[in-house]
Each structure stands twice: as structure tokens, then as C-alpha cells.
Structure 1
Amino acid sequence: MDTSAIFSSTDRQKLLTKFQHLPADAQKHGKGWSELWQENVTPWDRNAPSPALVDTLQSKSAVLGTSTDKETGARKRVLVPGCGKGYDVLLFASHGYDSFGLDIAPEAVERANKLAQEPEVAEKYPCGSDNTRGQAKVFLGNFFADDFFEHTGGKGEFDVIYDYTFLCALPPAMRPQWAKRMSELLGPNGHLVCLEFPLGKEPKTGGPPHGVTEPLFEQLLKRPGEEVQYDEEGYVVDSQHGETAPHGLVRVDRWKAERTHEAGAGKDHVSIWTHA
């Protein structure tokens, strides 16, 4: 499937022109996302969590473990960067996690907090098997800075981090920063869950969303912070040289999503990573 076909031609053009000439700077790109929210140009907003994440939380407890620490009984902490209106934040909370959503666009945060107050939330996001609900909090902040720690109890370490339409929204020059930051924020026994999207989109068509591949995730997370090499078509070169760095992440599971949003149907994969 051509994922660009899910967006209207007008929305695709607005996304392209909004970001194509911006430098690889989080704040400048944040302004672009804020303007799109103001203009109600949000083709990425599906009004619900991805079914692939719903299925992951229901079927991958053997990998992710429980939502509470077995020794202390404390709720595990989840970070969802680029959370938009916070559907995934609410879903994690319904499974018993203390869930924190982060977005750089004030308009997205405002809408997320409004959504969280709607009376239908408990019905739309029923509690999981243990019948407990964690806190769900969405706040304004820059993923690449530490200021948002004030909203997470002063802690910058998380048991689960979830990435969906976040890496693909970043300019390729910022990808090594993304990997380094993921490694820094993920707790020693934590898990990074990546819903890999959009797979199958040619990188040369630009973005956002920028096309991603399985080797891209592997190379970025193997040696966080280091540059990866691309061929002339924009695909990452699958280099086998170099061992996983001490602060690198290794993949513990990957599968094709049986259910997902229409934009990634038939192609989306979910991968789970942990510290080497």
C-alpha cells in the first residue's frame, strides 16, 4: 500500500511544504506541528489508539511483564513522545501503567487534556485484567530536553517507551539523536515498543512521514547517537560491522501487526527493544 494515498493531496502538500526547508531543530519543527494543529490539518489523527498497540498490550505480557513492579508494587512508568491527543496514553493507563504523554505542540496538549476529561473515557478505555487504572498525564515539552521531567515526578527514566509516528516525523538528520535519547530515557530493564510506520514508503519521496525500514531501526538502536549510512535512494545501508554499543538496544521480538490503522494495513510491524 502507498501510505501517501491515505492522506489527501492537499494535506500531503501542506506537510511537505511545512517542513522541507526547516533545519534539523526540534523547536523549529515544533512550531510547524503547532501550526498544523491550529489549521486542523491532522491527517495522522485516527481518533483511537492503534489496534496494533491494543493487541500488543493484550498478548505480549510475557515480554513486557506486568504493569507493576513485582518487588515494590509501584506502577511502571510509560512515556509516549509525540502523543498528539493522547489516545495511547489513555490506553496504557487503562492497563495499569502511570502513563505520560509528551508533545511539542500546545494545541495537541490542550486537545489531549480535554479528551481525558470526557465522561466516555472510562467506557472507551476499560481497565485491563487487574481492574486497576494508572494515571494519564499529557504535557507540553521537548523530547530532547530535560524540562519535562518536572511533570514526571522529577524522573527521566521509564519502564516502557512507545514510538508511533514519532521517528518518522523527524527529519533524517535527527534520527541519531532520537536513538540516543531513547537509550537514555529507557530504564535498565525497560522496553521500547516501536510500531514501525511507514514501511514500504520510498525515502526519496520525503516526509513527514519519512519512510522507515527494519534495518533503520536496527542500525540506529544498535549504536545510539552514531550516524547511519544511506544509499543513493535514501535507504539505510545494512552494515554488519561493529558490535552493539554498551548503551545500545537489542531487539527481543518483532512481528507483523494483524490489526492496525488503515494507513499501515498489511505492512506495519511491531518491535520491542531492551538494553543490551
Structure 2
Amino acid sequence: MTNNLLDEKYWTTRYLNYSTAWDAGEVTLPIKQYLDQLINKEIKILVPGAGNGHEVIYAFENGFKNTHILDISLLPLGLFEKACPEFPKEQIHHQDFFEHTGQYDLILEQTFFCSLPPTIREEYVKKMKELLKPSGKLVGVLFGVDFKKEGPPFGGELEEYRQLFSNEFEIVKLETCYNSIPPRMGTELFFSLRKNQ
């Protein structure tokens, strides 16, 4: 994968230039409300492409101690460590997502999918399935609009996503997100997918 969107230097430069419009500055409401209704705090969670890790901090501070953060750039991970110093070092992964190994009960999607070139979306789906335990879930938000300009972020449409995911996952939910943050209201889709056996 030679695309510069999969290159650490590209993303580190975005952080250094404060070109980080994907960062809401706090856990986003769809992920927060999803985590709030989960009863089992023992599950193993991965948040890939997590950047500053607001969702990771929220999960960890609310009892999900087996949460893992992954990002290709070391810079935001360093900021994350300062913001959450008690977070276990072995659960911080400075790595290309496509090279990561592990087995998770839940993977949270928050602006990672939209950062990837659309040409590798099928690889994303296969890798997500590989990283999930049997009946594991991939849950989060996707942009449900075409941005009409070169990304990232890259958008898409609901039916496109339905076709993309349906071969490898049972689609539990895929619908317009009612609790997006104000700047993204009407542009996001909430989804919950369960790994096919």
C-alpha cells in the first residue's frame, strides 16, 4: 500500500498543521451513548485510527479497562498518553491498522473509515472481520454524503455501505444518525455490524 494516506508522515503533518477537522475535541455522542448502554465492561475493544483518542478515554474512564487505541502517527498517541497517563502502555498500538493482529469483541469506528482511500474499502472490511472474535461487532458512524471534492474525508451512501458490508457482516443497524454533533447533523449514518461466522 503505497498511497500516502496510509503513510505516517502524511498524518503527522496533518496534526502538526492543525489540519484535524475530524477531531471533535471530545467523545462524540453516538459513540458515548452506545457505550453507555453496554453492560459488560470486560469486553475487549479496539479504536483504530483513534488520533487523540477521545472515545478511548471515555471508554477507559467508564470501566472498559480492556480498551485498545491504535494510530499510524506517534504524535497524537503521545498527546493521548499525556491526557490519560494511567492508560496501560501495552494497550497503545503505534501501527498501520492493516498490520495489526489481535481479537476483539468490539471495534469502534469514528472517522477512520472516511480517512482511507475508497479503493481499499473491501480490504478494510476483511481486516475488520479478521480482528473480531466470533459474533464480534463493528459499531460507529460513517459519512452518508458525497463531499464532491477530493478527500479525506471520503464520503459515501447508505446503499453503497450496505453492499460493501453485507458479505462479511450481518447488518444489525445502518441508518441516519439522530444524535450527531451539530456540525455533522444530517451527514452521518450510525451502524452496528455483527461478524458472520
Give the shorter-chain TM-score range. Answer: 0.7 to 0.9
Which whole-Å CA distance do the structure 2 matches of 1:200 and 1:221 have between them? 17
* Aligned equivalent of 2:122: 176
Q: 1:189 to 1:135 in 2, by over 3 A?
A: farther
**Is 1:191 matched with 2:145?**
no
**Is 1:165 matched with 2:133?**
no
The one of 137, 144, 150 aligned to 2:98: 144
Residue deviations 1:2-22, cap 9 Å, x none? xxxxxxxxxxxxxxxxxxxx9
Instruction: Indicate the SS of the match to 2:25.
Output: coil
Instruction: Indicate the SS of the match to 2:97.
Output: coil
The offset of 1:41, in angstroms, is 2.1
Instruction: Indicate the SS of the match to 1:168.
Output: helix
**Is 1:205 matched with 2:184?**
no
Which whole-Å CA distance do the structure 2 matches of 1:216 and 1:82 have between them? 22
Contact 2:48 2:112 in 1 (8 A): yes
Which whole-Å CA distance do the structure 2 matches of 1:115 and 1:164 have between them? 19
Which whole-Å CA distance do the structure 2 matches of 1:211 and 1:84 have between them? 19
The offset of 1:25, in angstroms, is 5.9
**TM-score for the superposition, normalised by structure 1:** 0.64
Q: Which has the larger radius of gyration?
A: 1
* Aligned equivalent of 1:24: 3
> More strand by proportion, 1 or 2?
2
Contact 2:140 2:191 in 1 (8 A): yes
* Structural mapping, 1:15-94, within 5 Å: 23-24=2-3, 27-28=6-7, 30-59=8-37, 61=38, 66-68=39-41, 75-94=42-61
Which whole-Å CA distance do the structure 2 matches of 1:220 and 1:25 have between them? 23
Which whole-Å CA distance do the structure 2 matches of 1:113 and 1:209 have between them? 26
Instruction: Indicate the SS of the match to 1:144.
Output: helix
* Aligned equivalent of 1:261: 181
The offset of 1:255, in angstroms, is 4.1
Which whole-Å CA distance do the structure 2 matches of 1:180 and 1:26 have between them? 19
* Structural mapping, 1:111-130, within 5 Å: 111-117=79-85
Which whole-Å CA distance do the structure 2 matches of 1:44 and 1:166 have between them? 9
**TM-score for the superposition, normalised by structure 2:** 0.87
Query: Once superposed, what is the RMSD of the aligned Cα atoms?
Result: 2.3
Contact 1:24 1:173 in 2 (8 A): no
The offset of 1:138, in angstroms, is 3.0
Instruction: Indicate the SS of the match to 2:99.
Output: coil
Contact 1:93 1:135 in 2 (8 A): no
Query: What letter is aligned with 1:214?
Result: L
Tell me the matched-pair count: 194
* Structural mapping, 1:210-249, within 5 Å: 210-223=154-167, 248-249=168-169
The offset of 1:23, in angstroms, is 4.6
Range 158-167 or range 34-43, more displaced: 34-43
Which whole-Å CA distance do the structure 1 matches of 2:16 and 2:79 have between them? 11
Residue deviations 1:85-136, cap 9 Å, x none? 1111112223432110100011111111111139xxxxxxxxxxxxxxx968
* Aligned equivalent of 1:102: 70
Query: What letter is aligned with 2:84?
Result: A
% same residue: 26
Contact 1:221 1:249 in 2 (8 A): yes
Q: 1:58 to 1:27 in 2, by over 3 A?
A: closer
Query: What letter is aligned with 1:42?
Result: T
Contact 1:67 1:95 in 2 (8 A): no
